[in-house]
Amino acid sequence: MKPHGKFCRIVALWTAALSGAVSGFGAATPLTTGIDGKSIVLVRRPDPGFVYVTSGGAAAGAFAALGPLHDMRPGHEMEDAGRQLTADDQIDDPAVSLSAVLLSGLVSTYKLQSLNPEAVILSDDKQLDVYRKQNQADLIFEFYTEAWRTFYFLDFKHYDVWYYAKARLIDGRTGSVIRQTKCAHKPIKTSASPTLDDLLADHGEKLRAAVEAAKELCLATVRQAFGISPQ
């Protein structure tokens, strides 16, 4: 396949993924019967690091709109800058709070027994499988941030935050996935969309608000997919 064709295929795939992830929310669909009262553990992957993308790099901005295509991002400068920015403004990986809220919702909805309110951090599927075999909980709930970054609109002046995360409920005995979903917050430009300076002003006040908006969308998406009753 020629490079141009391959790039178009990637764009099409991510566009489809985003469209599905941000569609309207219907009634929550309950999980498979038979999980009520079982034990559950929470696992999460390490923060991939906030990526600070600006309109100064057109290619970088184009990739930012497509999602977590890490292998296509030029260098580590944007990632280093993003980690410094969120550290200075004290903005945590959204998965930290989201995973805790979603676990609480699962426990309440399905009368589960939580074995670890604090998430176990596992780097990949291999570590997850080792952990599963060693601990033998009935269920494993995995929630983690795949990517989060600044996002600029096509006017190259106004910004928001792009966020992408994944959730899975896994049978702790067999390792099979009971249910899974992903959530993506792709910003929509409005009259209130901030400039880059506005986004970062006042110790990242609007940046923090943008992250919170992304978290709210993700929370609603996962609740709907897993049949979690709002608390």
Q: Residue 165, Cα to own-chain centre: how many angstroms?
A: 2
Residue 143: phi and psi, rounded to 5, are -140, 130
pLDDT in tens, 170-214: 999 999 999 999 999 888 999 999 999 999 999 999 999 999 999
Res. 66: pLDDT tops 50: no
Distance CA 183, CA 46 (A): 18
Q: How many CA atoms lie within 13 A of 88 on its CB side?
A: 13
Q: Tokens standing for 30?
A: 């309950």
Res. 153: pLDDT tops 80: yes
Fold of 36-226: Double Stranded RNA Binding Domain (3.30.160)
What is the pTM for the complete model shown? 0.80
Taking alpha carbons only, the member of 228, 152, 149 closest to residue 193 is 152
E strand or H helix at 214: helix 196-226
Q: Tokens standing for 37?
A: 């009262």
Average pLDDT of the chain to the nearest whole number? 83
Work out the average pLDDT over 94-119.
Answer: 95
Answer for the pair 222, 28: CB distance below 8 angstroms, yes or no: no
Residue 156: the pLDDT is 92
Q: 16-22: long-range contacts (C-beta < 8 A, 24 or more apart)?
A: 17/67, 17/182, 17/184, 18/67, 18/184, 18/186, 21/182, 21/183, 21/184, 21/221, 22/184, 22/185, 22/186, 22/217, 22/221
Torsion of CA 220, 224, 227, 228, to 10 degrees: 0
What's the angle, vertex CA 17, arms to CA 69 and CA 220, rounded to 5?
110
Res. 159: pLDDT tops 80: yes
Residue 34: the pLDDT is 79
Res. 63: pLDDT tops 90: no
